[in-house]
Structure 1
Amino acid sequence: MRDIVAEEIRAQIFDGRLGEGERLVERELAEQFGVSRHPVREALRVLQREGLVDSLRSRGLVVSALNRQQVIDLYAIREALESLATREAAKRIAAGAPSTLAETIAEARAAVDAGDIEAAHEANARFHDELVALSGNASLEQMLAPVLGRLHWLFRQVADVSYVVDDHARIADAVIAGDAEWASALAKAHVLAYRAHTMKLLFGEDARVDEGGSVD
């Protein structure tokens, strides 16, 4: 029940029904979902660990808000960890590890063709999760866990999901071919392009990336 409630609250955050800074009251959520307060309390703890919910001294639990610096920081984390994950995933596939990346890409393309944007977003987000899992690096998964919810929210800010699927397909081809360095380079370029789009969308500015990968 905790997981069901967490998924519903997460979906409401992702699609905007629960906006940034909105209070999350256990009693009201329990009534909305027709459950006791215990699974709601546990679900909110899960979402706190994912970074989607904050606990404020003055207001209690609220939907997390992202400022400019936090978005920059999240993308810096994503750039470093996902390029590493992609490189390691390609190495593992070259060594014979199985992969479902191609199936996930096909699912995302089918969703785009059907006009099901939410399903496409879900498949695109799962693609990143599968890359991290495929890396075989448990510590890497643990490092990403506290920011995973916010990253998935950022994934949904790009309106042109077909562009994202095309990028993912190129990365998947390199990973499946076992080309670790090329896969890592494609992953980094994807993150930087995604970051520039997000900065413009959320803050109305162009993100200029210097040679070291930092944002001006």
Structure 2
Amino acid sequence: MSSTGLPQGAVPKLERPGPLRDRVYEALLELITTRALRPGRHLVESDLAARLGVSRQPVREALQRLNTEGWVDLRPAQGAFVHEPTEEEADQLLTVRTLLEAEAARLAATRANGAGIEALEEILAQGLRAVAGDDVDAAVALNARFHAKVVDLAGNAVLAELAAQVERRVRWYYTPIARQRGHRSWVEHRALIAAIAGHDERSAARLMREHTEHTRRSYHARDES
């Protein structure tokens, strides 16, 4: 089990304005989803407060909220720990992601315009550069941007809200397999862009299902590779 404290260089800037507890919550959630704070890590209020430059109260409130949302486990007499997801949890989440994003891709193919396609292609180019440079953090962030843009092009506000809730957890699961997925993931993105640009709804939905299924399988196989 990991020791207390934050990794060097991992302390995010607390954005202002907004309630302090909300800003601390966002900072800790970012550290968890990017795995700067890894699953199983012991979270000590005093240490987190010192590193973030705040009192212990907003840290305590943030940890309670993160516990309610399943990001942190509060254990009696032991303290707070970053949640360690089970294989079943990952499978359920990634399955839901496939359903949402396949429909998003289908809808995007019905309404995407030139500007939307250009935006996807720019993210693709940046993603390929990140992979070539073995910049895993950038590749993970760009992967999230790509999928968010597809959802945005779908033009369905309810779908976008649901996908956003799922995507942050997807990033948590994607980070440890980002290098494994590597270039292949972006090749799949390129094919998806072509289907959306060609207004091919069926192909766009199929390609997104296959793409997200590859990610799901890669996550479950991560310890075997």
The TM-score with structure 1 as length reference comes to 0.78
Within the candidate set 115, 137, 140, 2:156 is matched to: 137
User: Counterparts of 1:129 and 1:50 in 2: how far apart (Å)?
Assistant: 21
C-alpha contact 1:50 1:145 (8 A) present in aligned 2: no
Which sits farther off after the overlay, 61-70 or 176-185? 61-70
Relative distance call for 1:30 and 1:114 in structure 2 (3 A) is same
| C-alpha distance in structure 1 between counterparts of 2:67 and 2:104, whole Å | 24
Give the deviation of 1:7 after TM superposition. Answer: 6.0
- Report what 1:32 is aligned to: 51
Q: Say which of 212, 217, 225 aligns to 1:196.
A: 217
- Compute the displacement of 1:17 (Å): 4.0
Q: Distance in 1 between matches of 2:35 and 2:203?
A: 36
| 1:111 corresponding residue in structure 2 | 130
Equivalent residues in 2 for 1:1-216, closer than 5 Å: 1=14, 5=24, 8-10=27-29, 12-14=31-33, 16-37=35-56, 40=59, 51=70, 53-56=71-74, 58=76, 61-93=80-112, 98-99=116-117, 100-158=119-177, 159-160=179-180, 161-202=182-223, 204=224
Gaps of 5+ in 1: 206-216
Q: Could you tell me how far apart the structure 2 residues matched to 1:50 and 1:91 are?
A: 35
CA distance in 2, matches of 1:20, 1:56: 13
Query: Contact between 1:47 and 1:149, CA under 8 Å: does it hold in 2?
Result: no
Q: Which amino acid aligns with 1:177?
A: G
Identity value in percent: 34
Which residue is equivalent to 2:17? none
Is this contact kept in 2: 1:30–1:37, CA < 8 A? yes
- Segments of 5+ residues of structure 2 without an aligned counterpart are 1-13, 15-19
SS in 1 for 2:176: coil
1:50-109 superposed Cα distances (whole Å, 9 cap, x missing partner): 75x135363554322211111110121011111011111111216x77341111111111
Is this contact kept in 2: 1:89–1:135, CA < 8 A?
yes
Distance change in 2, residues 1:148/1:39 (3 Å): farther
Q: Residue deviations 1:151-183, cap 9 Å, x none?
A: 111222222321111111111221122211111
**The residue matched to 1:98 in structure 2 has which SS?**
helix
TM-score (norm. length: structure 2)? 0.75
| Gap change, CA 1:14 and 1:139, over 3 Å in 2 | closer
Structure 2 Cα separation of the partners of residues 130 and 49 of structure 1:
29
Secondary structure at the counterpart of residue 101 of structure 1 = helix
Q: Are the equivalent residues in 1 in contact too, given 2:101–2:163 (CA < 8 A)? A: no
**AA of the residue aligned to 1:141:** A
Query: Match of 1:103, as an amino acid?
Result: E
- Structural RMSD (CA): 3.0
The 8 Å contact of residues 43 and 81 in structure 2, kept in 1 or not, is answered as yes
Distance 1:129 1:41 in 2: 31
Tell me which moved more, 40-49 or 151-160: 40-49
CA drift of 1:201 comes to 0.9
Offset of 1:36 from its aligned partner? 3.9
